[in-house]
Chains A and B, each alone.
Chain A
Amino acid sequence: MDLTTILTAILLLPLGSAAIIALFLRTRGKLAAMLSVTVGFLVMALSLYVILTWSGQEFHASHIWLTFGQYNFSMGFYFNHQTALMLLVVSFVASWIQLFSVGYMDDDDAKGRFFGGLSIFMFSMLGIVLADNLVMLFVFWELVGFSSYMLIAHYFKTDFANMASKKAFIVNRIGDFGFILGIVWCWSHYGTVNLAELQAKVGGNTALLTTHSAIAIGLLLMCGFVGKSAQFPLQVWLTDAMAGPTPVSALIHAATMVAAGIYFLARIFFLLPPFTQEWIMWSGAGMTAFAGLCALGQTDIKKTLAYSTLSHLGYMACAVGLGYPQLALFHMAMHACFKATLFLGSGSVIHACHHEQDIYKMGGLWKKMPITGATFLLASLANCAVPFFSGAYSKDSIISAAFLKGHDGGTVFYGVYFLVLFGAFCTALYTVRLFSVVFLGKPRSEDAEHAHESGASMTIPLTVLGLLSLGAGWAVYGWNLFGDNFTGLLPTNCAVVFLRAFNDLHDALEQAGLAHGLEFVNLAVVAVGLIASFIYYGRAKTVGDPLAAKSPGVFHVLERHGWFDDVYDWYVVQVQQRICDILGALDLFIFKFCAGWGTGGAAGLSGSLLRRATVGSIHAYVYWFLAGVILFWALAVR
């Protein structure tokens, strides 16, 4: 079977599953679940097959879809190493999360709708991964946004879920507005939207990136990334998106959809002028630190993990901004593993405690849920970038790259280094806080008392992803397993993406003599954070959050996310709503009064005047007719 056929199968199988579920299996939840999970694993198998048998040559295949005059919209596949990595991440993580959902959603009535949504999400996400031009990417971008909207609103009977899904979609749309402008401008300026053609045109030619158009295009395309990957200032939707079921949060809002923005940036990296890169770097670094702090102010387990995701997305953005998109993809792949584990672990805990999400009502779950606890521990350590865990390799590379930028680029860039280092410190703080409050100590509520380990459908994915969050990063050591096909635990075709960048970075650090120093600083920061947090939170004697008890003001700032949401709320309610009301009143005035009453009144007035002419006498009508004939005759004779 040739590559095009397999890729088409990979793309369309989830769509088929979604269609069958939507048409036939809406009420048959169990069948829908089985179908969706089977398709998921089939897609994973096909993806692995493709990746392992791929020759390494860049692959293009496309098909013209629409033609408007001289413009062609085409749909096609662009398969290179980045695609291989992302395909592996998406299909692998998605399949295991789908298996997890079977256990998690066992008491839900609307399983059919849920698994249909997961299938359509898979289809859309794979479309983004495989797309070969910006227009196709945008189509699937929007589809992913739609799937997210549909899945967040799964519990649509609650107001909170409805509002959260609308917020996610609308905020995304704001970013997409900039995105589509960028695509159109790119088409007009460069003459093509095909990624390979753009790369050929712009790739080595940095002179092309100095024009105003190029800078504008870079910024506008970045808007799409800002919306989808919850960067500043559009990050407000991600925490509310936790209203959806936990597997949705794990799949969409941790591992894959929010990473789509990073993947997109890596794909179009050659189009980004230096100004855009700097903006991304600074906003990413800032978000890392800020989100890390805000995570300390949350008592909901999923919200904490959401802020953690924001923080790590900041890391990835920072890596792109520093000029290492491959490292961003590396961190994205690692993050997908451990964040999915964390979310699934939290799902397992929530399910066991009967849908309780407040961490201060959990506790002592280590003894009761050993597998969940162990995998959660593995993933937490990876989250904190403890050495030898997967997160360490990618996160430390990014922090080191930031230092290198400061070293080579100018002292102002040391600010980036301090921000990301502070972010690492906060990560350690909130991770240990989370772990110790949830799993250690004594149970704090009835539900926690009666918790027990979850079934196999939930623990198996946890184990698989947990082990990966331990060992996925070992690819950097270059161990070749199974012939040349695997490097560490990852297929070589995928690992190639970041290995070279990783090695280049470390070579540069060695040359500058910084390598060991930086590693030591990183380790020290993480160790201090772990110990401090363990003492402050793990051994705390207070009933609730120690920070809340001791400095409620600080806690309140962090809890309210720096009042970002409130500022937007105020703007929408006070400013935007007023503008809309004015426009509405103007509309009413113009159309109802002027056009409606005006023309109606004029018609009525002229009607009542003309009415006088109907005298009921035929002869009078003939005289009028005569007058008309004379008039026309006069005009004709003229």
Chain B
Amino acid sequence: MQPGLQAYLTVAGLLFAIGFAGVLLRKNTLIIYMCLELMLSATTLALVAFSRFYGTMDGALFVFFIITVAAAEVAVGLAIIVALYRRRRTVQVDELNYLKH
């Protein structure tokens, strides 16, 4: 049976949920960041599926921009993490609690 829109959306949803779980469960900043990217990827999949099934290009073009922005965001985010590591010598989230009241 051909995979319909529901199938693609289910996959995207599962991917999103796994990514979210990863954000909640892991303590390493870098892995949390990777899971964020996973969530982003899931949304791109959903967008392209919608775009294909409704015959319009807008979704795909939006994905184009998402990838661009994600790339820029990753660069800046990793630069921040590196700067943070230089100061605090750790990337474990529970040790980065300097803003605790």
- A residues contacting B by CB (< 8 A) are 611-612, 614-619, 622-623
Contacts and interface: CB of A to CB of B under 8 A. Distances in A.
Contacts, number: 27
A616 B97 contact: yes
A617 to B, nearest CB: 6
Interface string B87-100: 00000011011111
A623 B24 CA distance: 8
A524 B71 CA distance: 112
B38 to A, nearest CB: 15
Contact of A616 (B29, B32, B99): B99
Nearest to B98: A616
A618 B90 CA distance: 14
B101 A617 contact: no
B8 to A, nearest CB: 22
Contacts of B100: 614-617
Contacts of A615: 97, 100-101
Contacts of B97: 615-617
A630 to B, nearest CB: 13
A620 to B, nearest CB: 10
19 contacts: A612-B101, A614-B99, A614-B100, A614-B101, A615-B97, A616-B96, A616-B98, A616-B99, A617-B93, A617-B94, A617-B97, A617-B100, A618-B32, A618-B93, A619-B24, A619-B93, A622-B23, A622-B24, A623-B24
A626 to B, nearest CB: 8
A622 B24 CA distance: 7
Contacts of A619: 24, 93
Contacts of A622: 23-24
Nearest to B26: A619
A618 B96 CA distance: 8
Contacts of A612: 101
B96 to A, nearest CB: 7
Interface of B: 23-24, 29, 32, 93-94, 96-101
Contacts of B96: 616, 618
Which of A611, A615, A616, A623 has the largest number of chain B CB atoms within 10 A? A616
A58 to B, nearest CB: 76
A292 B101 CA distance: 83
A619 B29 CA distance: 11
A623 B25 CA distance: 11
Contacts of A623: 24
Contacts of B94: 617
Nearest to B32: A618
Please give me the 8 A-B residue pairs with the lowest Cβ-Cβ distance, nearest first.
A616-B97, A616-B100, A618-B93, A611-B101, A616-B99, A614-B101, A614-B99, A615-B100
Given A616-B98, A618-B29, 20 more contacts: A611-B101, A612-B101, A614-B100, A615-B97, A615-B100, A615-B101, A616-B96, A616-B97, A616-B99, A616-B101, A617-B94, A617-B97, A617-B100, A618-B32, A618-B93, A618-B96, A619-B93, A622-B23, A622-B24, A623-B24
A409 B34 CA distance: 106
Contacts of A614: 99-101
Contacts of A616: 96-101
Nearest to B93: A618
Contacts of B23: 622
B10 to A, nearest CB: 19
B62 to A, nearest CB: 20
Nearest to B94: A617
A617 B96 CA distance: 7
Contacts of A611: 101
B31 to A, nearest CB: 12
A177 B97 CA distance: 67
Contacts of B99: 614, 616
A623 B99 CA distance: 17
A415 to B, nearest CB: 86
A553 to B, nearest CB: 81
B29 to A, nearest CB: 8
A612 B93 CA distance: 19
A492 to B, nearest CB: 90
Contacts of B29: 618
Nearest to B27: A619
Nearest to B23: A622
A151 to B, nearest CB: 67
Nearest to A625: B23
B95 to A, nearest CB: 10
B94 to A, nearest CB: 6
A331 to B, nearest CB: 85
